[in-house]
Amino acid sequence: MADIQTSASDKKEKEYFTHLPQEAPGFFLKGSHQYDWGLKNRLSRVFNPKDGRTVMLAFDHGYFQGPTTGLERVDQTILPLEPYADCLMLTRGIQRSVIPASTTKAIALRASGGTSMISPMEEWEGELDGKKLKLSRPGFEPLSNESTALTIEEAIRLNASILAVQVFVGSAYERQSLKNMTDLVDAASRYGIGVMGVVAVGRAMARNAQYFRLATRIMAELGANVVKCYYLEEGFDTITSCCPVPIVIAGGKKLPELDALKMCFNAINEGANGVDMGRNIFQSDAPVAMMRAVQGVVHGGLNPKKAFEMYNDLKSDKKKAKK
């Protein structure tokens, strides 16, 4: 029970600081200053409040492509990288079966799915003017036919900071994937959990700045707290500039390490708030060295040349230690 002050002398003088108005500071993260406390706190676990950036380690690829190269044994290949990530992007299956519950890293939980890389194409077969035809319907990206893949209670049980949902703007399932995202935003925002809309690219979707501006902005307008998109050499700054919430980049297919580090550096300089990278780290010849070099670019202010030197030094240290 709170004590009751009986006389002015038996306690320290109260100080109301009447001359100092309480500050109402902004928040370090783009577009996030008006969120509630819980959501801001969760986003502060994903993005480092010191610089507003993140290195998310993406290894959710198995949700549609099974044992992806480098992820055959997540316990062997990903756990050694965990200490160097700010956030782990993964499926609930891998989280429960492999990731120690003692991890202190933020969780970006895959929340959409339901298709696989061998989903059948939607095709039409028939006859036209006496000729047999087989046509694929434009825009029917088989992978885009996703649903939401977990409930909000499951996300809470797994202590997710942010939920990741694929959005296929321009595909025949555009509306459905946007509905998946808005449903998750409605559910997640009730509990202060964030939603990250992931720009999916497919045959029907052009990989250019105009497309990425459209897709990222639509997701932000419909409530995504963070958007994940690919880096582009041309016009990436126009994408980050007109998206009112943070953008993180996917790494995409494996590149030579120096090129991947240049991509991270350029993305950060052109307004990205970090990376959500997978194959360029776990498919590297030296994944821990690459992870630390990416950290060096994103949080340490290293340029690509310095980061590549760091990568090579760490890689050769490991080789020496093995001898």
User: What residue ranges bind ligand R5P (CB under 6 A)?
Assistant: 58, 60-61, 89, 166, 198, 250-252, 276-280
CB of 207 to ligand R5P, least distance (A): 13
What is the DSSP track for 105-162?
A: SEEEEE-EE---TTPPP-EEEEEETTEEEEEEPTT--GGG--EE-S-HHHHHHTT-SE
Q: Could you tell me if 103 and 78 are in contact, meaning their C-beta atoms sit under 8 angstroms apart?
A: no
Return the sign of the alpha-carbon dihedral for residues 211, 214, 217, 223: negative
CB of 5 to ligand R5P, least distance (A): 57
CB of 77 to ligand R5P, least distance (A): 13
Rounded Cα gap, residues 280 and 124, in angstroms: 38
Instruction: Give helix 304-322 / helix 287-298 axis angle, nearest 10°.
Output: 150
User: Is 228 a known active-site residue?
Assistant: yes
CB of 296 to ligand R5P, least distance (A): 18
CA distances from 296 to 83, 262, 302 (A): 14, 12, 5
Closer of 279 and 315 to ligand R5P (Cβ): 279
Closer of 61 and 105 to ligand R5P (Cβ): 61
CB of 277 to ligand R5P, least distance (A): 4
Rounded Cα gap, residues 29 and 10, in angstroms: 45
Rounded Cα gap, residues 59 and 90, in angstroms: 5
Closer of 52 and 202 to ligand R5P (Cβ): 202
Phi, psi for residue 162 in degrees, rounded to 5: -150, 145
**Catalytic pick among 40, 105, 228, 262:** 228
Closer of 35 and 198 to ligand R5P (Cβ): 198
Closer of 60 and 174 to ligand R5P (Cβ): 60
Q: Which residues are catalytic?
A: 228
